Chains A and B, each alone.
Chain A
Amino acid sequence: MADPMKIRANVVGDSTEVKVLMNHEMETGQRKDAQGKIIPGWFIQNVKVTHNDKVVLDAQWGPAVAKNPFLSFKFKGGAKGEKVRITWTDNRNDTRTDEATIA
């Protein structure tokens, strides 16, 4: 199973700033191993961020997103103690959901 994300959600003015690091190889499918065989692509394709069941960011990624991805953005509203939930799904159908409390 995939490792947890590291999520930070902080109130900044009247917005919530979300910063997340994800554990993922983000293998491009273009590289070769020592034997010259192509290493199959393995990467996160979808990332969904929700706050109070409302989607605040919905992303589609290709293999050109860097290994152990980082993402930062802000949405209006959000109060201390409320939750931000992030789900990613990769091209092998592996998925991971983590939550953070807004601080």
Chain B
Amino acid sequence: MDKKRREVLKAGGGMTLLMLLAAAGWLRPGDVRAADWNKAAFDTKTMDETMKALGGGTPVPSNDIAFFSTPDIAENGAVVPIGITSKVPKTESIAILVEKNPNMLAATFDIPAGTEPSLSTRIKMGQTSNVYALVKADGKYYVASKEIKVTLGGCGG
């Protein structure tokens, strides 16, 4: 617990410093943007690593998270439609993770109050894999998963 707390504090402290530097005009816009993009999280290869990079513990499986307009089979892995709705109260963010992609985290969406915790987008999948919908709500993490099969396309028209 203590270790986790230290990490959070460290991350929080780092952010503040970056923001101070930005405010003082010592950083170019690109550097500030880099701080807005969680490189560590996007580099992860396992759920544990991702959760660590996001600063959370093991997510709790939840039936309040549902996939919609998400097919069981993707005709082409280059474009896989994913829709996620969270009914977990106080949902703050929704993330999409693909277990067997080279890097697990595909996208995160911060959901401010007033925005519905429901969205759809399209991702790439290298192969058949479990896809996770990771929801942060009231500071805790919840998860639901779905296997999506990826077929290889031939000629079509």
A interface list, Cβ under 8 A from B: 15, 26, 28, 30, 45-46, 54-67, 69-77, 89, 93
Q: Could you tell me the distance in whole angstroms from the C-beta of A65 to the nearest C-beta in chain B?
A: 6
Q: In this assembly, does B14 line the interface, its C-beta being within 8 Å of a C-beta of chain A?
A: no
Majority DSSP secondary structure for residues of A touching B: strand
Residue of B nearest to A78 (CB): B114
Q: Find out whether the CB atom of B122 lies under 8 angstroms from the CB atom of A57.
A: no
Cβ contact within 8 Å between A66 and B80: yes
Contact yes or no, A72 B121, CB < 8 A: yes
Partner of A60, one of B29, B38, B115: B38
Return the contact of A58 from the options B30, B103, B109 (Cβ within 8 A): B109
Assess A75 versus B116: contact at CB under 8 Å? Given A30-B102, A59-B109. yes
Given contacts A60-B36, A60-B37, A60-B38, contact A70 B106 (CB under 8 A): no
Q: Out of B78, B110, B119, B125, which one reaches A71, CB within 8 Å?
A: B119
Interface size range on B against A? 20 to 34
- B111 near A57: Cβ-Cβ < 8 Å: yes
Inter-chain contact B123/A65, CB cutoff 8 Å: yes
CA distance A59 to B107 in the complex (A): 7
Q: How many Cβ-Cβ contacts under 8 Å join chain A to chain B?
A: 101
Q: Contacts A46-B36, A58-B110, A93-B30 known; A64 to B124 CB distance under 8 Å? A: yes
The 8 closest A-B pairs by CB, nearest first: A64-B106, A73-B119, A66-B122, A58-B110, A62-B42, A75-B115, A45-B37, A74-B116
Q: Is the CB of B114 within 8 A of A77?
A: yes
C-alpha spacing A73/B123, complex, angstroms: 16
Q: Report B19-32 CB contacts with A as 1/0, cut-off 8 Å.
A: 00000000001100
B107 contacts A72, CB within 8 Å?
no
A90, closest chain B residue (CB): B33
Q: Contacts A56-B115, A65-B107, A89-B33 given; 6 further ones with Cβ under 8 A?
A: A46-B33, A58-B112, A64-B103, A64-B107, A66-B122, A76-B116
The answer on a CB contact under 8 Å between A71 and B36 is: no
Provide the bound-state CA to CA distance between A64 and B37, in Å: 15
- The reply on B63 being an interface residue by CB < 8 A is no
Tell me, yes or no, whether B73 is within 8 Å of chain A by CB: no
Residue of A nearest to B125 (CB): A64
